[in-house]
Amino acid sequence: MAPYISRRSFARLLSVAAGALSLPAGAATLDTGTQHAALGAAMGAASMEKKFPTGFLWGSATASYQVEGGVNEGGRGQTIWDTFSHTPGKVANGDTGDVSTDSYHRYREDVALMKALGLRGCRFSVAWSRIFPTGVGQPNQAGLDYYNRVVDELLGSGIQPFCTLFHWDLPQALEDKGGWQNPDTAKAFADYAGYMGGKLSDRVKSFMTMNEIRSFTELGYQNGMHAPGLRVDAQKFAQVNHIAVLGHGLSVQALRASTKPGTKIGLADNAQATCPVLETPEHIKAAEIGMREQNAQYLTVIMEGKYTDAYLKRLGPNAPKFTAEELKIIGSPLDFVGLNVYQPTWVRADSTKEVGYSVVEGPASYPHMLSPWLTIGPEALYWSPKLVSKLWRPKELYITENGCSSSDVLNEEGQVLDTDRVMYLRNYLTQLHRAISEDVPVKGYFLWSLLDNFEWADGYGKRFGITYVDFKTQKRTPKLSSEFYKATIAKNSIA
């Protein structure tokens, strides 16, 4: 027997379900039996099937130094990551990207893996030093040829290439002149970006200037955990950030000038994903303020063309030096914003703070994936695009990275049953679906990563792939999470 349900609660439930499913108008006037059937179908479907919009772009992401190998081939110049990874003590286990997943030679096999998954998008990055071995000067045709081959292979497999121009592998020759401490690096980056736009935009329709500005500045120049391994003082660090966002802005302008009409330009940013500790109006407001302030020197200045007052006040004498003209360049309009989302930043309303919020540090028991920094909070994939959309109304959003590390091992049958990664992905994607069903314009999702690869200072010890890589034989084995992702793509709803 169907459980008793009052007319009023039925109407309420129906309106909730209709929000997700668009029931026929007038459904509430149907007779009781039909009502119950409609409700059951609607609620069942609403809770079980989470359809993504038709044409939603499912993809995967990788980055040049993390997968290519071939570091001395095709005229490639040295980068800060070659230097850093070959410096004893900098990378776990002494690992380097010299070979990695050897995608410089095996890109066809990798594209075939993508095709088998049903991917429609591939985010990859160009190694600046393959194109300009010393960062500036004469372009290197062999380097360009490699990316032409990759792009053609993707297009031939029905996969849209999304090209990132800087995913941290700065040419060493530029670091020798100060790297991101030197404003000339921002100009050199724009020249290189413009050059690539001219060469690829006949086939590549979406470019991202930089990947995670916060990561390469903080880890590279503030705490020295990543290349170039420096720890500059607070004022110099603020200037590094300023030069980096200026490089982004200059490259947007260079790309506008060099690319074919209709080319879309954005970036892949790891804006801190501020999430309200409780979903009440006061904490949600706090998360919104937090999104602006926590990211003041990165996404906020890029979207607004100015630093927030609170940021400049907080830095005081260490604030960056800048001109109005530079702010205008930094704020150059974008066609889309890409968000890399891994962990939540929990935020609460706090009236004792001038800015009105504070960040809540997790208790010691807070769960994380294999990487200790990767705390779990599926809501990050709801609130990050939701708040970015509310604050800055970008025309389009992409999730340019999301994924996790897991202690993957091959079992006796040669499988990797990464149930924790499946759990992570299913829960995060459920929250992404929630954002999209509220009309946040997220157009695609790039899972990090297609393959296990060189995880920066963690070397090969932290696997993020949905494909297991045996680094001795280069054998690729799709994990359980690959099956999950493949089924999700095939159904266009969470498997």
Binding mask 357-396 for ligand PNW (x = CB under 6 A): ----------------x-----------------------
Would you say 227 or 349 has its CB closer to ligand PNW? 227
Residues numbered 269-288 forming contacts with ligand PNW, rule: CB under 6 A: 270
Q: Look at residues 361, 364, 330, 363 and name the one whose alpha carbon lies nearest to residue 346.
A: 361
370 DSSP assignment: S
DSSP letter for 495, please.
Answer: -
H helix intervals, 224-361: 234-258, 281-294, 301-304, 309-315, 324-330
Contact pick of 84, 298, 448, 468 for ligand PNW (by CB under 6 A): 448
- Give whichever of 445 and 464 is closer to ligand PNW, judged by the CB atom: 464
Q: Pick the closest to residue 123 from 36, 65, 78, 58 (CA basis).
A: 58
Q: What SS3 class is residue 246?
A: helix
DSSP per position, 290-302: HHHHHTIIIIIHH
Rounded to 5 degrees, φ, ψ at 286 are -60, -40
Could you say whether residue 452 binds ligand PNW (CB under 6 A)? Answer: no
Would the annotation count 128 as a binding residue? no
In angstroms, the CA 13 to CA 303 distance is 39
Residue length, the chain? Answer: 495
Nearer to ligand PNW, 408 or 455 (CB): 455
Among the listed residues 39, 57, 63, 442, the single contact to ligand PNW using CB under 6 A: 63
Is 211 an interacting residue with respect to ligand PNW (CB under 6 A)?
A: yes
68 belongs to an annotated ligand binding site: no
Asked if 53 contacts 436 with a C-beta cutoff of 8 angstroms, the reply is: yes
Among 398, 446, 464, 468, binds ligand PNW (CB under 6 A): 464
Instruction: For ligand PNW, give the closer residue by CB, 212 or 379.
Output: 212
146 is known to lie in a ligand binding site: no
481 touches ligand PNW (CB under 6 A): no
Number of helices (H), then strands (E), belonging to the chain: the values are: 18, 13
For residue 452, give the nearest of 439, 463, 436 by alpha carbon: 463
Residue number closest to ligand PNW, CB atom: 373
For residue 49, CA distances in Å to 56, 130, 358 come to 16, 45, 36
Q: Which is nearer to ligand PNW, 201 or 343 (CB)?
A: 343
Number of residues that bind ligand PNW (CB under 6 A): 13
Find the shortest distance in angstroms from Cβ 168 to ligand PNW.
7
20 binds ligand PNW (CB under 6 A): no
Residues with catalytic annotation?
A: 212, 401
Q: In terms of CB distance, is 52 or 342 closer to ligand PNW?
A: 342
Give the CA distances from residue 177 to residues 93, 180, 184, 208, 304, in Å, rounded to whole numbers and listed in that order. Answer: 30, 9, 9, 25, 30
The span of 207-215, 256-264, 285-293, 329-337 binding ligand PNW (CB under 6 A) equals 207-215
Measured from the CB atom, is 153 or 212 closer to ligand PNW?
Answer: 212
383 marked among binding-site residues: no
Distance of CA 310 to the CA centre of its chain: 26
What is the C-alpha separation between 370 and 463, in angstroms, rounded? 9
Does residue 401 interact with ligand PNW by CB under 6 A? yes
Smallest gap from residue 414 Cβ to ligand PNW (A): 25
Report the nearest approach of ligand PNW to the CB of residue 262 (Å): 27
Is there binding between residue 84 and ligand PNW (CB under 6 A)?
no
Q: In whole angstroms, what is the distance from residue 145 CA to residue 191 CA?
A: 19
Q: Cβ 51 to ligand PNW, closest distance in Å?
A: 28
Query: Per CB under 6 A, does 215 bind ligand PNW?
Result: yes
Angle between helices 480-491 and 419-437 (to 10 degrees): 20
Rounded-to-integer distance, Cα 214 and Cα 294, Å: 11
Which listed range, 28-36, 52-60, 210-218, 271-279, lies at the site for ligand PNW (CB under 6 A)?
Answer: 210-218
Question: In this chain, which stretch among 171-179, 211-219, 251-259, 487-495 interacts with ligand PNW, using CB under 6 A?
Answer: 211-219
The answer to whether the annotation marks 167 as part of a ligand binding site is yes
How many C-beta atoms lie closer than 10 Å to residue 387's C-beta? 24
How far is CA 265 from its chain centroid? Answer: 15
Rounded to a whole number of angstroms, the minimum distance from the CB of residue 367 to ligand PNW is: 16
- C-alpha atoms less than 13 angstroms from C-alpha of 377 in its C-beta half-sphere: 24
Binding to ligand PNW in span 322-351, by CB under 6 A: 340, 342
Helix (H, G, I), strand (E, B) or coil at 274: strand
Q: Residue 299 or residue 349: which is nearer to ligand PNW going by CB?
A: 299
Residues of each annotated binding site for substrate:
66, 167, 211, 342, 448, 455-456
Interacting residues with ligand PNW (CB under 6 A): 63, 66, 211-212, 215, 270, 340, 342, 373, 401, 448, 455, 464
